[in-house]
Structure 1
Amino acid sequence: MFKNLYVLLLLALLLGCGAAKLPSPGAIMPIKAQIDLVEVLDDKVMVVVDPGQIGKDEILFLIPRIIPGTYSEDNFGAYVQDFVALDYDAEPMNISRKDVNSWLISDAKKLDKVTYYVNDTFDTELEVEEAVFSPAGTNIAAGENFLLNLHGFVGYFEGLKEVPYELNIVSPSELKPATSLHEISAEITDKGQYNFSAKRYFELVDNPILFARANTETFKISDISVTLSVYSPTGRYSAKDFRPQMEAMIKAQKAFLGGVSGTKTYTILLYLAQISDSDATGYGALEHHTSTVVVLPEALPKQVLDESMVDIVSHEFFHTLTPLSVHSREIQFFNFNEPDMSMHLWMYEGTTEYFANFFQVQEGLIEIEEFYDRMAKKISNSRVYDDSMSFTTMSERILESPFKENYLNVYEKGALINMCLDILLREQSNGEKGVLWLMKELSAIYNEDTPFDDPELIGEIVAMTYPEIGSFFEKHVQGKEPIPYPIYLEKVGLKLEMDQKPASYFFLGQIPYIDADPGDLDTIFVQKGMELNSFFQDLGAKGGDIIIKINDTTITLDSMRTIVGESFGWDAEKDIRMTVMRDGELIDLQGKAGTPIYTERKIVEMDSVSEKVISLRRAWLGQ
């Protein structure tokens, strides 16, 4: 394919207007991109992209609208300003902006390069419909730190995504890069000059870079070299603080996966944010083939950060198995602006989330009861979403309503699909095979360079397993039939117990039913992805509702604190009026305060089960 592409490009160049920038015989000239982190102008940095010789009359330059792993429209072109195309005489060329993410360049045979400024997403002054999920976002803090998710900086020319890239970054000398991107060379004088290479555009944007003052730890686990880089704005935390937990976790993951993970390097970029309007909002992580970006609040206590890092990074590391290794053509040849979405989120996110919890009990990091509690909580949380929605249909159409509103269920029901599939595989194979076995089998067929055909995968899984697996997929993954969890739990001697328990109005234990928007602490909303207590349910509140008023009190952070305090003395007959904003519409809710209760679900072991069932449970849990 590359040879054919080269021949066509070379022919176009020879017939074009001049010999400037002709590639040498047998070579494909890389696209060259430059980012200047020294001359920061109004919180923006300049980017230059030189495509080499273009052999056609017009060409489209694009910045991604959607990136892999986020399943949302982020429109990174909205953060690009002052876009200019220059010819070989450094004169501006005719361009037209086709939409927020693309520019059409006329008379493209004369194109030398494009230049533009990029604003960051963390504290953008621009008006955008929805903030970018921070781990997928960008930060420009002159002389302090630069979080370069490169899809937010470097664009691509239509038809040239498979061409190699060279990236040159000029940075303040005191800031050092942490990344898994292949570094060609580095030169440090009064400023840093770093040169990187990528085989294609996808590889370039699949390797984020964090520029900050050196705060890294590198350690080796088996055949994998892991680098942990931490940005802590106040200097409260160092990479050494998190190394023991990350080292133990990845060691356990490698033991769990065996030889199925072929990753030789892995970079963890931890950005600790201050809680302010000018820093990251939306915490979590985004996976890449050989790295992950994690964004968490610096203000969290160390113990909470440790627990969060283990849960979050273990999930992201398991993505090296799927979709980063086992994946469909839709992901292999991802269209950043008009993507076809794969139908297999049950695997990409569901298997990954299941493994992130399951490996911890298998490797002795948590007790069995903790694993049971986590799965029971996922059953409760999954009830917030449409349980009759086909998971494969939701996955294919995840960018549109009503499917995108159910996306977070991939971490709840998606994990439960895999738990039930794991139990069913164990039952059918007399304990010998499970989901990990299945993923190892698939990874022997498919890998980073060999994708599967999206419609064929489930059929292939059934062919290598049992007819009962086909029935499970047909009913509960492709179909709309809710999973009868008690039936699957009973196969391994477990049962699901439900109990109505008292709750406070606004808290479940120490977990609040409400939260504040990190970007605007006076915006208080009802938590998404959490089964609400009877108080909110009886009022008709839903996850995501922004609370505008309670009775006659306008809600701010301070007034909400006052109401929460007063609620401990509310009478059950107290009248409650709550005004919420839902999907841009004001809605008035009313009812009695009542006596709030919640449904607690517990997975517990059954009494008097057969030795065969106990043996199956032990084979499943590795205990």
Structure 2
Amino acid sequence: MKHFIYSLAIALTVAGQAMAQDNVKVNVDLKNVTDDKVSVTVTAPKIKEKTITYFIPKIVPGTYSVDNYGSFVEGFKAYDKKGKELTVTKADENSWKIENADKLVKVSYLVNDTYDTEGTGKHEIFSPSGTNIAANENFVINTHGFVGYFDGKGEMPYELTVIHPATLWGATSMTDTDESSEKDVFTVSRYPELVDHPIMYSKPDYTTFTVDGMDILISVYSPTGAVTAKAITPEMEVMMRAQKKFLGPINSTKKYAILLYLSDVMGNDAKGFGALEHTTSTTVVMPEAMPMDQLLSTLKDVVSHEFFHIVTPLSVHSKEIHFFNYNTPKMSEHLWMYEGVTEYFANLFQVNQGLISEEEFFTRISDKINQSRQFDDTMNFTKMSKNILEQPYKDSYYNVYLKGALIAMCIDIEMREASNGQRGILSLMRDLSKEYGSEKPFNDDELFARITALTYPQVGEFLKTYVAGDTPIPYENYFAKMGVTQAVIQKPGNPFLKNQQIPYVTVDANGNIIILPNIEGNAYMTNLGLKGGDAILSVNGTAYTVENIYDLIMASMAWEEGEPITLTIKRDGKEQEIKGNVKLPVEEVEGYKATNEAKSALRQAWLKG
């Protein structure tokens, strides 16, 4: 018996060693950056095939755009155990075919970053899904931009080792298993899990707190140090506590990381602002020049959206998402749920938890309706989603955040009405999460039937008619169910932007910012006596030209009614100073208002239940 146990122990040890070698090991060197490029070495698992292809993603989940991350890779080489180069053929922009692959030991290559070339026309990669390489300063490691996968080996475990300067710290929702100050080691179960975990290296500036058993990490990179993690954490903590309270028992992750990169928009830096969701984290890019009040307000909307992705697609998703093909993807029919339900929750929770008023919620919904009608309102939403990478559907992508959220709202209303306020779309998502969960994907073409079975026949009819059909949604009918009707409402405007979009200012041949000639001034301009053709030279002591006009627009978003303001202008060739107080313009727009008190209880169940 002892001999048997001893032999079994040896067998298990050998088997364990064999299993340990049956993974993909990646080394990323952030210490020895050469010519703004990072060296990556990938140790291959045992390969039996004579040829194999190594892929860098063409597309990643959450972006729904072809970005060709392989175009940022150069110097790709493959080696056998003696260090001899194997023959490599670049098959396309994102893949390399390796001959004699049964002898392959490792591949190596260099990676360029995307931030340096944003706005140059060389690519259109959205900044939060891009990469940054600034030696000894900052590295945004969206892992799909640095690490690829061998064909057919994407389900193998990965071990990622990152060598970095001791002065930089890696913020991520992964766990570093190495105690060294210059080496981090992360292990994940498969390639999609690695792609799902970004890392940001910078000088440590982070905070942590716990919400209902979930550990939250907020890490900030601010080039000048103008914004700190400590400064934004109180607002973020209030928001995330409200989100967790809203979600209730849905708790798919124990750790969540917010990685905030603040960009110097005037330099060779990130210029696309927003966020990209991940299962247990989000990467956020914003301009550092944005006033703090505006930054916090924007983060509240952007980060809350990304956080709600822990419901879908994390807990509820199709096979197209679970087994995502990064180079020849098949898209799911259900962007209305992945993005639409998520965006709806990002607005609903704020009125539910008292962060915004009912009036502001209705204004937001009204804005979504007006914007969504700029798209083809008869477009079959499931067909659009399935073909989102192709025209004409590609150009309708932004509508998933607009009409997608409105679809979710109407389902919510249908369920509230049918259940006398007791059930809504949040309870539906909880039921779907229990049935499927992160490891059990559904079949794309079966979701509507399952939702109908879990809810009510009228929900199934809605999905058939308005989501899988080509009939525009009669929003007024759905609002009427909740005692809400159309009304003209007033909303605050921006001193320099009509309807938050159309500029009141332009730039002359000398690079000066001028108020558009022959324009009817808004309340801000008439209050200060500004006229069309006036050149704005400075505001409150800060000089402005075409070089920093963006900063002026950002600063104006934080101005408050009645605050003192001093401008230096040039009119008819002469400089003059204007002193006064800010008067914010007010715009009248079509919106919605609660009018039927008989529906008050049902409306409260919808918005506050």
Q: 2:92 aligns with which of 96, 99, 102?
A: 99
The offset of 1:47, in angstroms, is 0.3
Cα distance in 2, alignment partners of residues 478 and 47 from structure 1? 45
Distance 1:26 1:32, change over 3 A: closer
Corresponding residue for 2:540?
A: none
The alignment status of 1:620 with 2:606, answered yes or no, reads yes
The alignment status of 1:314 with 2:266, answered yes or no, reads no
Q: 2:164 aligns with which of 168, 171, 190?
A: 171
Q: Is the 8 A contact 1:58 1:104 kept in 2?
A: yes
Corresponding residue for 1:471?
A: 461
Deviates more, 1:272-281 or 1:155-164: 272-281
Amino acid in the other structure paired with 2:208: T
Cα distance in 1, alignment partners of residues 180 and 490 from structure 2? 65
Corresponding residue for 1:562?
A: 514
The offset of 1:136, in angstroms, is 0.3
Cα distance in 2, alignment partners of residues 75 and 286 from structure 1? 17
Counterpart secondary structure, 2:74: strand
The offset of 1:92, in angstroms, is 1.5
Q: 2:385 aligns with which of 390, 395, 405?
A: 395
Cα distance in 2, alignment partners of residues 614 and 560 from structure 1? 53
Distance 1:267 1:500, change over 3 A: closer
Amino acid in the other structure paired with 1:148: I
Corresponding residue for 2:51?
A: 58
The alignment status of 1:379 with 2:379, answered yes or no, reads no
Amino acid in the other structure paired with 1:567: I
Cα distance in 1, alignment partners of residues 78 and 427 from structure 2? 52
Matches within 5 A, 1:85-484: 85-124=78-117, 129-188=122-181, 192-484=182-474
Distance 1:466 1:114, change over 3 A: same
In structure 2, stretches of 5+ residues that fail to align are 1-13, 523-585
Distance 1:466 1:107, change over 3 A: same
Percent identity between the two aligned chains: 47
Q: Is the 8 A contact 2:333 2:444 kept in 1?
A: yes
Cα distance in 1, alignment partners of residues 409 and 55 from structure 2? 41
Q: Deviations over 1:564-583 (max 9, x none)?
A: 3553489xxxxxxxxxxxxx
Cα distance in 2, alignment partners of residues 283 and 362 from structure 1? 27
Cα distance in 2, alignment partners of residues 565 and 502 from structure 1? 24
Corresponding residue for 1:67?
A: 60
Q: Deviations over 1:403-425 (max 9, x none)?
A: 11011011111111111111111
Q: TM-score of the superposition, structure 1-length normalised?
A: 0.82
Q: Deviations over 1:247-268 (max 9, x none)?
A: 1111111100001122110000
Q: Is the 8 A contact 1:186 1:195 kept in 2?
A: no
Distance 1:235 1:506, change over 3 A: closer
Q: Deviations over 1:235-291 (max 9, x none)?
A: 111110011011111111110000112211000000011112411110000000100
Q: Is the 8 A contact 2:62 2:276 kept in 1?
A: yes
Q: Is the 8 A contact 1:121 1:131 kept in 2?
A: no
Corresponding residue for 1:529?
A: none
Corresponding residue for 2:4?
A: none
Amino acid in the other structure paired with 1:600: V
Amino acid in the other structure paired with 2:323: F
Cα distance in 2, alignment partners of residues 557 and 290 from structure 1? 49
Amino acid in the other structure paired with 1:604: K
Cα distance in 2, alignment partners of residues 86 and 140 from structure 1? 26
Q: Deviations over 1:540-594 (max 9, x none)?
A: xxxxxxxxxxxxxxx8897694363553489xxxxxxxxxxxxxxxxxxxxxxxx
Q: Is the 8 A contact 1:162 1:200 kept in 2?
A: yes
Cα distance in 1, alignment partners of residues 122 and 432 from structure 2? 40
In structure 1, stretches of 5+ residues that fail to align are 1-20, 517-523, 525-554, 571-596
Corresponding residue for 1:42?
A: 35
The offset of 1:26, in angstroms, is 5.2
Counterpart secondary structure, 1:64: coil
Corresponding residue for 1:8?
A: none
Q: Is the 8 A contact 1:182 1:198 kept in 2?
A: no
Deviates more, 1:201-210 or 1:559-568: 559-568
Corresponding residue for 1:513?
A: 502
RMSD: 2.7
Cα distance in 2, alignment partners of residues 415 and 196 from structure 1? 36
Corresponding residue for 1:605?
A: 594
Corresponding residue for 1:83?
A: 76
Q: Deviations over 1:485-513 (max 9, x none)?
A: 1100000100123589999998325x232
Cα distance in 2, alignment partners of residues 622 and 501 from structure 1? 23
Counterpart secondary structure, 2:233: helix
Counterpart secondary structure, 1:187: coil
Q: Deviations over 1:461-486 (max 9, x none)?
A: 01121111111111111111111111
Counterpart secondary structure, 2:178: strand
The offset of 1:605, in angstroms, is 1.6
Q: Deviations over 1:141-196 (max 9, x none)?
A: 001000000000001000000000001111111001100123221312xxx11111
Q: Deviations over 1:42-99 (max 9, x none)?
A: 1101000011321110000000000000000010000001111111121211111110
Distance 1:227 1:126, change over 3 A: closer
Amino acid in the other structure paired with 1:177: G
Q: Is the 8 A contact 2:87 2:98 kept in 1?
A: yes
Distance 1:323 1:235, change over 3 A: same
Distance 1:355 1:501, change over 3 A: closer
Distance 1:403 1:140, change over 3 A: same
Q: TM-score of the superposition, structure 2-length normalised?
A: 0.83
Counterpart secondary structure, 1:398: coil
Q: Is the 8 A contact 1:506 1:564 kept in 2?
A: no
Counterpart secondary structure, 1:412: helix
